[in-house]
A and B are shown apart, each in its own frame.
Chain A
Amino acid sequence: MATVDLKDVKKVYPSGVEAVKGVSIAIPDKELCVLVGPSGCGKSTLLRMIAGLETISAGTVAIDGKVVNAIGPTERDIAMVFQNYALYPHMKVYDNMAYGLRNRGTPKDEIDSRVRSTAKVLELSALLDRRPRELSGGQRQRVAMGRAIVRNPKVFLFDEPLSNLDAKLRGQMRVEIKNLQRTLGVTSVYVTHDQLEAMTLADILVVMNAGLVEQTGAPLDVYEKPASIFVASFIGAPPMNLLPLTGSSSGPMLADGTAIGFAARETQAVTLGFRPEDADVTFNAEALPGALVLPAAVEAVEPVGAESFLHCVAAGSRIIVRVSGRATAKPGDQLRVVAKAEKLHWFDQAGKRVD
């Protein structure tokens, strides 16, 4: 139905603060793009610029090929789901959903049929006569979704819609949002600071930091090949283990002087990283050629059920290793952490990935 194209979009507030410093993203039709980043990275500002709630300082925003910089939120034909839902407190659920359609002069019987069919999809039919305060958090969330869906807009915008729900409901709504978005086939932009939501929902994942895009790509590509230390530590839970390197005549070695044990491919790399699940632990002392072997001391063990996280200290840094099932190691144990060479990530002085 619509594409969304951002070209070198900037936002400078009158106070001189540069919230968005030049972002270009192209979202193809029917895809869900997730903007993820820590608070203050400019992701919400960017979303609000797409919505037309913030002016655009520079660059262009185009919806369906048409530049919309100068037109208001109403004419952009977008629908937005807000973090606090922003339901009209004095209106019944039905009126909350019908309000946007009424303002657009949709005929009464069409409003009625659209509201009722949307309510059916979202299982809100029994709640149409209630007011927002009589609803639970999850139900309010659904009404907010319904208000967006009923308008049948070109683009859905989600501003951290799940952050006010409890963990269980969040997981459930996440799946529902994904399913709805796929069934309706509406191009969507979704802002979140939760990397798990980002990974599971996104067709295109955009990682933002300090007003700039750090990396854009399919979620698993971003996960497997993080473009920078920032992305590596932001995407994935627990985060990637990062070990500083120092150069020496015999090639790079770890900060405490441990040799890496094999020839590092990248000489300019100053940081070495591996994911907690890409490493294993062993109590044996046999040589393992082609792998990074780190002597480590276990500090804490976190059993989660299907897996356990070992918090260790190795080469002067804290690292986390994921082992499946119950961990045999106990706090205080000395063991060796082994990571395969092909699973290692290398980063240069600027924090950028080197391959």
Chain B
Amino acid sequence: MIGQSPLRTFIAHAVLILGILIVAFPIYYTFVASTHTLQTILRPPLPLLPGGQLWNNYSEALFGGIGRIGGVSVGQLLLNTTIMALGVAVGKICISILSAYAIVFFRFPLRMTFFWLIFITLMLPVEVRILPTYKVMVDLGMIDTYAGLIIPLIASATATLLFRQFFMTIPGELLEAARVDGAGPWRFFFDILLPLSRTNIAALFVILFIYGWTQYLWPLLVTNSNDMNTIVIALRKMVSFADADTEWHLVMVTAMLAIVPPILVVVLMQRWFVRGLVESEK
């Protein structure tokens, strides 16, 4: 072990604590601002301690509706964003695990062609294909729908490749044992492959949920009405150029609330994820 001397321990801790402070302070300051009245926020300096408006501000934002975005409540925004993030994460996992299953375990004509086609899409980010995608969504009448928010983001080359790599580490004997045991392709997938992929699925779910949660460009294009906005878009719409126009206390509340679900997902899934890591062994 290195770092046994007290001085080294002290330095290591000092650096870590400093890092945490730098990362945590803005979040703390946002929280402080979310507990003051608009007047207090607009009159600098902003106090460093939480004020007494916590309950008022949060209930106003969650249940009251915010004027600058057409009176939509933050509750509705959270619901929209959750549906979108869950849809993207679950959809991506379903599509990519099935594609990887086909590519790894089945022999069919043009197998490698399909693999490369999926691989090539890695090189095309959403931004590059956004205009044609938008046109397709308009033609299909999917503007301002959850389907329109979710479906274009579902195809995922990264997750497919990740599952492919994992499936290739599964010993061929396991597949053969299952075949001798009378398991067809679906049985093998559900009884053997899926349980073995738990940890990968958990890890991917965390990453993809946050990916879906923080999407900006696509929701901005595909939603027009205020009650279909995601929280990130709404947050931007709430901020006006003129300070006096902006309900800063509500912006701060929304920002705080926007952080909570991703943190929950990470914390809850991490437990599960670690348990999965400890349990699984090949």
- Our verdict on whether A and B bind, yes or no, reads yes
Q: Which of B18-26, B92-100, B171-179, B207-215 binds A?
A: B171-179
Q: Is A80 positioned at the interface, with any CB of B under 8 Å from its CB?
A: yes
Contact A80 B177, CB 8 Å, known A89-B196, A100-B182, A103-B183 = yes
A82 close to B192 (CB less than 8 A): no
B180 close to A73 (CB less than 8 A): yes
| Complexed CA–CA distance, A78 and B178 (Å) | 12
| Complexed CA–CA distance, A146 and B152 (Å) | 49
Q: Is B282 positioned at the interface, with any CB of A under 8 Å from its CB?
A: yes
Q: Is A51 positioned at the interface, with any CB of B under 8 Å from its CB?
A: yes
Chain A CB within 10 Å, residue with most, of B178, B196, B280: B178
B196 close to A99 (CB less than 8 A): no
Contact A100 B180, CB 8 Å, known A90-B195, A90-B196, A133-B281 = yes
Chain B CB within 10 Å, residue with most, of A73, A83, A87: A73
A residues near B174, Cβ cutoff 8 Å: 86, 88
Q: Is B187 positioned at the interface, with any CB of A under 8 Å from its CB?
A: yes
A103 close to B182 (CB less than 8 A): yes
A residues near B173, Cβ cutoff 8 Å: 82-84, 86
CB-defined interface of B219-234 with A at 8 Å, one 1/0 digit per residue?
0000000000000000
Q: Is A72 positioned at the interface, with any CB of B under 8 Å from its CB?
A: yes
| Complexed CA–CA distance, A100 and B188 (Å) | 12
B residues near A53, Cβ cutoff 8 Å: 176, 179-180
Q: Is B191 positioned at the interface, with any CB of A under 8 Å from its CB?
A: yes
| Complexed CA–CA distance, A350 and B204 (Å) | 62
Chain A CB within 10 Å, residue with most, of B171, B180, B187, B282: B180
A51 close to B191 (CB less than 8 A): no
Q: Is A2 positioned at the interface, with any CB of B under 8 Å from its CB?
A: no
A90 close to B280 (CB less than 8 A): yes
Q: Is A147 positioned at the interface, with any CB of B under 8 Å from its CB?
A: yes
A74 close to B280 (CB less than 8 A): no
B179 close to A88 (CB less than 8 A): no
CB-defined interface of B158-198 with A at 8 Å, one 1/0 digit per residue?
00000000000001011011111111000100011001100
Tell me how many residue pairs across A and B have CB atoms closer than 8 Å.
61
| Complexed CA–CA distance, A83 and B181 (Å) | 16
Which residue on chain B has the smallest CB distance to residue A48? B176
B179 close to A86 (CB less than 8 A): no
Which residue on chain B has the smallest CB distance to residue A82? B173
Interface of B (DSSP majority class): helix
B180 close to A78 (CB less than 8 A): yes
Interface hits, B87-134 → A, CB 8 Å: none
Interface hits, A167-212 → B, CB 8 Å: none
| Complexed CA–CA distance, A104 and B182 (Å) | 7
Contact A88 B192, CB 8 Å, known A83-B173, A103-B187 = yes
B residues near A35, Cβ cutoff 8 Å: none
B residues near A147, Cβ cutoff 8 Å: 177, 181
Q: Is A337 positioned at the interface, with any CB of B under 8 Å from its CB?
A: no
Min CB distance, B177 to chain A, in Å? 4
B residues near A78, Cβ cutoff 8 Å: 180
| Complexed CA–CA distance, A43 and B282 (Å) | 26
Q: Is A79 positioned at the interface, with any CB of B under 8 Å from its CB?
A: yes
| Complexed CA–CA distance, A99 and B192 (Å) | 11
| Complexed CA–CA distance, A84 and B195 (Å) | 20
B residues near A90, Cβ cutoff 8 Å: 192, 195-196, 280
Min CB distance, B38 to chain A, in Å? 55
Chain B CB within 10 Å, residue with most, of A74, A90, A104, A147: A90
Chain A CB within 10 Å, residue with most, of B173, B177, B179, B192: B177
B residues near A103, Cβ cutoff 8 Å: 181-183, 187
| Complexed CA–CA distance, A80 and B196 (Å) | 22
B176 close to A80 (CB less than 8 A): yes
Min CB distance, B194 to chain A, in Å? 10
A residues near B180, Cβ cutoff 8 Å: 51, 53, 73-74, 78-80, 100
| Complexed CA–CA distance, A89 and B173 (Å) | 12
B181 close to A100 (CB less than 8 A): yes
| Complexed CA–CA distance, A72 and B196 (Å) | 25
| Complexed CA–CA distance, A103 and B191 (Å) | 11
B residues near A73, Cβ cutoff 8 Å: 176, 179-180
Min CB distance, A71 to chain B, in Å? 12
A82 close to B176 (CB less than 8 A): yes
B177 close to A86 (CB less than 8 A): yes
B192 close to A84 (CB less than 8 A): no
Q: A74-B181, A90-B280, A103-B183 are in contact. List 6 more A-B contacts (CB 8 A).
A: A52-B179, A83-B173, A84-B173, A86-B177, A88-B174, A90-B192
What is B's interface to A at a CB cutoff of 8 Å?
Answer: 171, 173-174, 176-183, 187, 191-192, 195-196, 280-282
Closest 10 CB pairs of A and B: A100-B181, A103-B182, A86-B173, A86-B177, A74-B182, A90-B195, A133-B281, A82-B173, A73-B180, A73-B179
